[in-house]
Chains A and B, each alone.
Chain A
Amino acid sequence: MSVKSYILKRGATYLVVFVIAITIVWLLIRFAPGDPALTNVMRSMMAPGVRYTEEQIEEYRRRAIEFLGWNLPLPQQYALFWSRLIMGDLGYSTYFSAPVTSKLREILVRDLLLLTPSVLVSWFIGNYVGALAARNRKLDKFLLPIFYVLTATPYFLLGLLFAYELGVVYPVFKATIMSSDIDAIFTSFNGETLTNFLKAYTLPFLSLTLIAIGGWASGMRSMMIQELGSNYSRYMEMLGFSDRKIAEYAFRYAINPQISGLGIQLGTIIVAGIVVSSVFNYPGAGIALIYAINFRDVFLIQGIIVAYTLMVIVANFIVDILYAMLDPRIRLGISGV
């Protein structure tokens, strides 16, 4: 199988996955408990004392249903949804009062800004440290507990602790990050905005990265130990290769699953986004999704899920291609060694 046909095949698979995933989401939103029309009515009258008659509420509800397009027959709604999606129209967000696509662009940039560096830094550090720990027993004794503590710490706990200790008690950094902190470096880049940004950015970044390092490192460590104990390592040892050389080869094998893990991590950054949002108020997709669900902002929920499903799929696709280039066994469909 050539690289080209391999890519085509994988691409087709992912396309099917995408269609099925989006359809499930579309259905779930429609059949989940809670009434988006009613929630929309709520948003019109949230102040105490503001009171409407039954007719007024019916009118609001009717408008909300029309806005959602839920007065149409279901198949027609579904067809409309796909035709709009293909045209790149994800609808209008009542939460942001803006088209979903333009809002998603901003949200995505903020998420990538925080989460991509965090995932990458933790991946590199975690893998190096994990590989080191596997080769050096003394270091391992010292590092292993740290890995385990880091992986076992619930993110929000560490996040809250960081925010409280370094943001409130010893206010070295800011306990929250607002969109103003981020937007400022794009609109007017100077020393002040950069300092402000870094002050706000450090804690979310540090907490995410630290937790992730533990996971990558312990994964890498056990993988390396396994590879170092495998037959080819022993054979190399007998042939008189240096430890370093053996480790280099073991590392090449051990890193493979970590690469696919990286692909998945990069794709699923929305999960990390939700926790980091609730601890530091990070203005990314996580917080938008929480609000969108609470306010039953149907188009925004759909939009975020479509975008992030696409990200997972694209990330996986890229990893697949990389894999195929790195390891001919995969594209040739050879199993076992």
Chain B
Amino acid sequence: MNKGKISLAIAILLIAIIVAVPVLAQPPNIPREQTLITGGAWWEPPKKFNPLNYGGSVSGTNGLIYEPLYLWIPIKPENERFQPWLAAALPNWISPTEVEIKIRPEAKWWDGSPVTADDVRFTFYDVPRKVTSAAWAGVRNYITDVVVVDSKTVRFKFDPQNVNYGDFLYQLYSAPILPKKYYEPYVNQYGNELTDLGKWPVIAENKDPTKLLGSGMYKVLYTGDDYFILERVDNWWGKDVFGKLPGPKYIKGVIVYSNQVAANMLGAGELDWSTFYIPGGPTMVQKGYVVSFYSKSPYYLSANVAFLFLNTAKKPFNDPNFRKALYYAIDINKIINSAYEGAVVASNPVGLLPYWQQYLATDLLNQYGYKYDPQKAKQILDQAGYKDVNGDGWRETPDGKPLKVTIIVPYGWTDWMFAAISIADDLKAVGINAEAVFPDFGAYVEQIDKGTYDAAINNFGSFAAPTPYQLYYWAYNATPGIWTGNMGRYQNAKLQQLITQLGKIPPDQTDKMKSVLRDIQQILLDEMPALPLWLNGYWFLASQKYWTGWPNDNNPYAVPTNWNGQWQHGGLLVLLNLKPATQPAQQQPQPTTQPTAPAGPDYTTIGIVIVVLVIIVIAVYMFLRKKPKKEEAGKK
């Protein structure tokens, strides 16, 4: 009968599968109790461990394998934020153009050789000049020399004309110190090609990341397609300095496609440290499944500013009155309460993060008094000539042309999608024809880069840094483009000059910093070049099933993030402070707390069980019926 032939075809197919099974590398077997499972900073197969291009490499390359001179922890008081890591003490400013930094005598590479002044010079002087595409290569514009004073002391010399303290302070905790003896041959031979991730997935012997030489707490043990495993370096130099090794023996980083999957993993205890944006995260905290930094709203620390960029190269966005009217028209709290469940906070109108509170010109803010006020928005629009002339219900531009605002956010970024819809609704309420559009990420990037968009939500370069210089340079001063900044293409010579000046103020002159920032804020309030909406959080949720000791409001020793380039905000300290949960069995009865929630899910469980049972019964019935049929066939 035909079934025989089908079965044969299937058998051939199955054999083909087994034959086709590729030879796979043996993944190591690691005990769960000693492993920290983390995710949220990894979105592609972890193959790239290239410190010269840490932005495009696996998060942790910079921080866990290669270490910076300092940590910078924004939630600490101003004068405690810089914490020496490879460096022995805070930078010693000899003059505004010369700074001396000492390296810890204990600091050494994994092969036992010391981290020396030569390595620091190599990192800050040679690499930027030979690999001009390295992430910190911009320092070559102002660091004229790095002098090796002795084996553990270096002096940086700056060009007084071009010096950029804003950038230098950032690089002090961001640039990974590299072993000169290991990297020099590569740097000399390949130059700029080293950052070409297509050609050089990893800089190591035979492109094997387990053969890298670093100085950090962890080294690569195994990399798969959707996970990787790091192993603790038990003779790490910091053991003597900090008095301990990091808690987890292994770190397993997981690459998960959707936040929903991450939420399930977190709930099931398969994920310990999550920096995903988890929808329903606050609810999970309330139910006691996970912990967050704050035990109540806003739950998360503020990480960066989400702006609504307006394309000022286009009409009517070149009109400050129009932009201001938009700011009055948008109800930011509506977005926060609904899209974010109250887990983020609204930004002030100048986009300064809480860590820069001291620079905030509160008198100016009060004077301008920006707030959500649709009536005011209508009034401004009327005065500026944006009126509904043709009677279609929507306002036209002063010269009578139809007016439409399209707000773009990437498809699938659900929180932003909701925000864009909410903003469009708010604009419609004041008579502006607005629409939220969701191109996929590639198309979103292209529209912003080419300047063909109207309005877009973005936060790519607005992260916390030692001074607001980085943020303002990115938002208003850069050459326009998605990866450089200034997406609104806003041109204002006065503002740009002030931002450049901001970068040149030595770190100790806070009064001067304040006065320049005051001038900048004045312009921003006058012009509203981009609309600061809310402060995105350092999404952090942790399960205490296997690891305890997470930082929180009462013990704010670190920003618990492991995002790329941000381990230095405290992620490294989190690892040092984690302790295995003493009674892992205690968490077992946790699911029984579930019935306090609405009883709904229990019915669905019963439903599923019934469906499964029915299927089984049917299957059994089917097989019982099959036999007599065969007998009959036999008789034939």
Contact = CB atoms under 8 A, between A and B. Distances in A.
Given A179-B226, A294-B440, A113 B445 contact: no
Given A48-B304, A213-B615, A34 B446 contact: yes
A76 interface: no
A51 B484 contact: yes
Interface string A108-151: 11001100100010000100110010000000000100100010
A180 B227 contact: yes
A113 B21 CA distance: 10
Contacts of B460: 48
Given A33-B439, A43-B44, A125-B622, 17 more contacts: A34-B443, A35-B449, A42-B445, A47-B565, A56-B133, A97-B45, A113-B17, A129-B618, A129-B622, A164-B601, A166-B608, A176-B265, A248-B629, A266-B13, A279-B261, A322-B2, A322-B6
Contacts of A174: 268, 270
Interface stretch (A14-22, A88-96, A232-240): A88-96
Interface string B590-611: 0100100000010011001001
Contacts of A112: 13, 17
A255 interface: yes
A125 B619 CA distance: 7
B531 interface: no
A183 B27 contact: yes
16 contacts: A35-B446, A46-B56, A47-B565, A52-B133, A53-B484, A54-B484, A57-B484, A94-B197, A171-B268, A176-B264, A178-B226, A184-B27, A188-B29, A213-B615, A283-B225, A322-B2
B41 to A, nearest CB: 10
B225 A39 contact: no
B135 interface: yes
A187 B226 contact: no
A248 B604 CA distance: 38
Given A112-B17, A187-B24, A161 B608 contact: yes
B226 A57 contact: no
Interface in B217-268: 224-227, 254, 256-258, 260-261, 264-265, 267-268
A143 B26 CA distance: 46
B103 to A, nearest CB: 23
B198 A92 contact: yes
Question: Lowest 10 A-B CB distances belong to which pairs?
Answer: A34-B442, A47-B565, A50-B55, A48-B463, A175-B264, A47-B55, A168-B267, A44-B56, A97-B47, A47-B564
Nearest to B174: A49
A187 B479 contact: no
Interface in A185-224: 186-188, 206, 210, 213
Contacts of A129: 618, 622
Contacts of B9: 318, 322
Interface string B10-38: 10011001001110111101000000000
Contacts of A59: 133, 192
B565 A48 contact: yes
B611 A146 contact: yes
A38 B625 contact: no
Nearest to A41: B483
A34, A49, A109, A161 pick with most chain B CB within 10 angstroms? A49
Nearest to A166: B608
A244 B24 contact: no
A262 B260 CA distance: 31
A177 B59 CA distance: 22
B26 A146 contact: no
Given A163-B264, A165-B604, A210-B615, A132 B622 contact: yes
Contacts of B619: 125
A184 B25 CA distance: 10
Contacts of B17: 109, 112-113, 116
Nearest to B462: A48
Interface stretch (A77-85, A285-293, A302-310): A285-293
B257 A278 contact: yes
Contacts of A125: 615, 618-619, 622
Contacts of B445: 34-35, 38-39, 42
A105 B22 contact: yes
B481 interface: yes
A54 B481 contact: yes
Contact of B258 (A64, A162, A278): A278
B138 interface: yes
A303 B445 CA distance: 24
B601 A60 contact: no
B292 interface: no
A25 interface: no
Given A35-B446, A92-B198, A186 B24 contact: yes
Nearest to B18: A109
A186 B442 contact: no
B564 A46 contact: yes
A280 B618 CA distance: 27
B208 interface: no
A67, A259, A281 pick with most chain B CB within 10 angstroms? A281
B539 interface: no
B26 A296 contact: no
A120 B10 contact: yes
A138 to B, nearest CB: 12
A57 B268 contact: no
A161 to B, nearest CB: 6
A164 B264 contact: yes
A281 B56 contact: no
B196 interface: yes
Interface string B573-595: 00000000000000000010010
Given A48-B463, A116-B17, A33 B22 contact: no
A184 B224 CA distance: 11
Contacts of A98: 47
Given A52-B133, A210-B611, A44 B225 contact: no
Nearest to A171: B268
A102 B442 contact: no
A248 B454 CA distance: 66
Contacts of B470: 49
Contacts of A280: 261
B481 A165 contact: no
A67 B445 CA distance: 20
Nearest to A256: B2
A34 B21 CA distance: 35
Nearest to B167: A51
A63 B449 CA distance: 18
A146 to B, nearest CB: 6
Contacts of B605: 165, 169-170
Given A54-B481, A184-B27, A187-B27, A176 B261 contact: yes
A48 B22 CA distance: 38
B566 interface: yes
A281 B261 contact: yes
